[in-house]
Amino acid sequence: MDEIICPLCGKSNPIDNKYCDYCLAYLKPRETSEPVPDSDTNRGGLGGHSTGEQAPSWLKEIWGSNSSDEETPAERDLGLELPPADTSDWMPGSSAKESETQQAGSTVSPFLGGKESDDSDEIPAWLNDALIEEGVPEGQEAEDLESQPQYGEQDKASQTEKNAVRQGPGSLESAGPLAGLTGVLSAEPGIARIRKPKAYSTKIRISDSQLEHVKLLQSILEEEGQPKPLPEKSPISQQHVLRWSIALVLLISVFWSLIFSKGQIPLPIYDEGSAEVNRLINQLPENSRVLVGFDFEPGLASELDAAAYSVFDHLVSQGTLFTTISTTPTGPILAERFFQYILPNEKLIDGQDYVNLGYLPGGAAGLLNFIENPPGMMPYSIEGSSVWATETSEALPPVNGINEITDFEMIILLVDDPDIARIWVEQLSPYITDSQTLTSLVLVTSAQLEPIVRPYFESIPQSVNGLVVGLRGGSAYARLVGGEQLPGQFWDAFGVGTFVAALLILVGGLAYYVVPELSRTVRGQEKVE
């Protein structure tokens, strides 16, 4: 569809439109059938023109030569068709006659001047020359026009020719909202001319070195998002070899000792804590009642069995009756196992020689409750039978006459955990350290507890009266009283194992430290050379 560009707002309108759909400006110069009235007050435009003797001769000539034309002088000057008369009805003596004719093709912007391409009229040479003298040179006008949007189908050449004519001062406006007015100041071409906005490049101007830096940054940022492949680990590393070597050496030494050198090395002679326990047990009366706490984990059953074996062997030989209790859930089972499987030769009878009170929950709170009220806290054995004295039955022999914790002649605790040992000692300490009390507290502990419980043993007054520590303490006790079977099984292999471990830590540790340092020094020297 053919379009016409509005001379005012620059928007496209259909070719048949007389007015712009957006700003209501006339799209084409107005056509008049009558010449512009030759009147002083009616020269079109504001201010009018002087006529007659006042007008310059050349202007008169123009008026005269163009009076027969349909175009007004302004139109003739501009080569335009003025819009219809309604645009200048408010102007007195407006010479603009309404014309409904709209020429096919486009019009030239009233601010530019110039005729339409199909205008058969030729610009007079004198006019052309005047324009050239007064206005913008033809060439520049032509250039300006070429950069403008098209005004429809028109011959560029003729358009250029027309646009060589510039509007001079005092001329009649023939198009736009000021049509019919004279003395209209021409807008600056740069402002009035509708032209495409200059296209500015959106590309950043950067130098080559800056571009290199941008690429580098981009590559760094891209790498961040990508997972880096892990270096391939060899299935067998130096750490694996070291661990396997240690395990192999230790296992070989232990098995060798177990198979070939069982019982060849004598048990240790003296241990202060074990000696003290021996003295305390020797002081116990016949058929004494001993409370035994089984509070160790099944994993260390070997060590505690070996440590406690000779102690219990000694106690059984004294006719001691045992009451067992545990603050760990597996303790009652370990107690039953110890009396049934570890001391089988003793043939202790449940309910007669020992009673298993079972699990004492609550840690410190439970122990405190039991210490203050043993029958109330643990009324039944682990099997569910009544152990304490009632109206209808007597108490079982191990708990006969027991109402308070201090009624027991001795309390023995088998323990491997420092916190449990500390809780027992703390809760019992006020009773044990009481000068009125004859009850003694003996600890049979794992070797890992020795530093923690020894302050209680070494203190004055003692919170712990006797201490048998680990396999060494049990072996020393076995050497004192006999009953060397169980500790003796372990002692040889234990000595070999501890020696091998000490050697590995000492020699291996030094080698592990010195060799890399030496190699680093040598490599450094080689680099320097």
- Site for another protein, residues 200 to 259, rule: CB under 8 A: 242-244, 246-247, 250-251, 254-255, 258-259
Q: Which backbone phi and psi does 421 adopt, to 5 degrees?
A: -60, -45
Which range binds another protein by CB under 8 A, 6-14, 146-154, 197-205, 374-382? 374-382
Query: Residue type for 87, please?
Result: T
The encoded tokens of residue 336 equal: 């039953």
The encoded tokens of residue 385 equal: 């039978």
Q: Give the shortest CB-473-to-another protein separation in angstroms.
A: 10
Q: Give the shortest CB-209-to-another protein separation in angstroms.
A: 46
Q: Which of 263, 451, 482, 524 binds another protein (CB under 8 A)?
A: 451
Q: Nearer to another protein by C-beta: 89 or 372?
A: 372
User: What phi-psi label fits residue 313: left (phi over 0), alpha (psi between -120 and 50 degrees) or beta?
Assistant: alpha
Residue 193 sits in the site that holds another protein (CB under 8 A): no
Q: Give the shortest CB-347-to-another protein separation in angstroms.
A: 16
Q: Which of 17, 42, 51, 330 binds another protein (CB under 8 A)?
A: 330
The whole-angstrom separation of Cα 33 and Cα 84 is 11
Q: Nearer to another protein by C-beta: 254 or 481?
A: 254
User: What phi-psi label fits residue 11: left (phi over 0), alpha (psi between -120 and 50 degrees) or beta?
Assistant: beta
Q: Which residue's entry shows tokens 């070797």?
A: 447
Q: Which of 175, 463, 477, 488 binds another protein (CB under 8 A)?
A: 463
Cβ neighbors of 134 (< 8 A, separation 6 or more) are 166, 168
Output DSSP code: residue 290. Answer: E
Q: Give the shortest CB-222-to-another protein separation in angstroms.
A: 34
Q: Give the shortest CB-380-to-another protein separation in angstroms.
A: 5
Q: Which of 23, 132, 192, 368 binds another protein (CB under 8 A)?
A: 368
Residue 454 sits in the site that holds another protein (CB under 8 A): yes
Provide the CA 231 distance to its chain's centre, in angstroms: 25
Q: Which backbone phi and psi does 148 adopt, to 5 degrees?
A: -90, 160
Which range binds another protein by CB under 8 A, 112-120, 176-184, 486-494, 521-529? 486-494
The whole-angstrom separation of Cα 103 and Cα 162 is 16
Residue 471 sits in the site that holds another protein (CB under 8 A): yes
| Residues in the chain, total | 529
Q: Where are the alpha helices (DSSP H) in 319-415?
A: 331-337, 364-372, 374-377
Residue 190 sits in the site that holds another protein (CB under 8 A): no
Q: Which backbone phi and psi does 355 adopt, to 5 degrees?
A: -135, 135
Cβ neighbors of 501 (< 8 A, separation 6 or more) are 250
Q: Nearer to another protein by C-beta: 211 or 247?
A: 247
Q: Give the shortest CB-220-to-another protein separation in angstroms.
A: 34
Residue 449 sits in the site that holds another protein (CB under 8 A): yes
Residue 358 sits in the site that holds another protein (CB under 8 A): yes
Which range binds another protein by CB under 8 A, 17-25, 142-150, 184-192, 490-498? 490-498
Cβ–Cβ under 8 Å, residues 288 and 318: yes
Burial of 181 by CB count in 10 Å (0-12 exposed, 13-18 middle, 19+ buried)? buried
Residue numbers 310-329 binding another protein by CB under 8 A: 329
Q: Which of 361, 401, 482, 524 binds another protein (CB under 8 A)?
A: 361
Q: Which of 9, 132, 194, 301 binds another protein (CB under 8 A)?
A: 301
Residue 375 sits in the site that holds another protein (CB under 8 A): no
* Interface map 68-107 toward another protein (x if CB under 8 A): ----------------------------------------
* Cross-strand pairs, 321: 289
The encoded tokens of residue 128 equal: 């052309």
Residue 61 sits in the site that holds another protein (CB under 8 A): no
Q: Give the shortest CB-526-to-another protein separation in angstroms.
A: 22
Q: Where are the alpha helices (DSSP H) in 261-322?
A: 272-283, 301-317
Output DSSP code: residue 386. Answer: B
Q: Give the shortest CB-505-to-another protein separation in angstroms.
A: 4
Interface with another protein: number of residues (CB under 8 A): 102
Residue numbers 422-441 binding another protein by CB under 8 A: 422-423, 425-430, 433
Q: Which of 69, 86, 144, 297 binds another protein (CB under 8 A)?
A: 297
Q: Nearer to another protein by C-beta: 161 or 305?
A: 305
The full DSSP string for 210-240 is HHHHHHHHHHHHHHHHSPPPPPPPPSS-HHH
Cβ neighbors of 53 (< 8 A, separation 6 or more) are none
The whole-angstrom separation of Cα 350 and Cα 323 is 10
Beta strands in 115-175 (DSSP E): none
Q: Give the shortest CB-527-to-another protein separation in angstroms.
A: 22
Q: Which of 29, 73, 268, 488 binds another protein (CB under 8 A)?
A: 268
Q: Which of 336, 409, 417, 484 binds another protein (CB under 8 A)?
A: 336
Residue numbers 25-54 binding another protein by CB under 8 A: none
The whole-angstrom separation of Cα 455 and Cα 462 is 9
Residue 509 sits in the site that holds another protein (CB under 8 A): yes
Q: Nearer to another protein by C-beta: 128 or 406?
A: 406
| Residue 140: C-alpha distances to residues 132, 143, 144, 493 (Å) | 11, 5, 6, 114
Q: Which of 177, 275, 359, 375 binds another protein (CB under 8 A)?
A: 359
The whole-angstrom separation of Cα 292 and Cα 143 is 117
Q: Nearer to another protein by C-beta: 278 or 463?
A: 463
Q: Which of 499, 522, 523, 524 binds another protein (CB under 8 A)?
A: 499
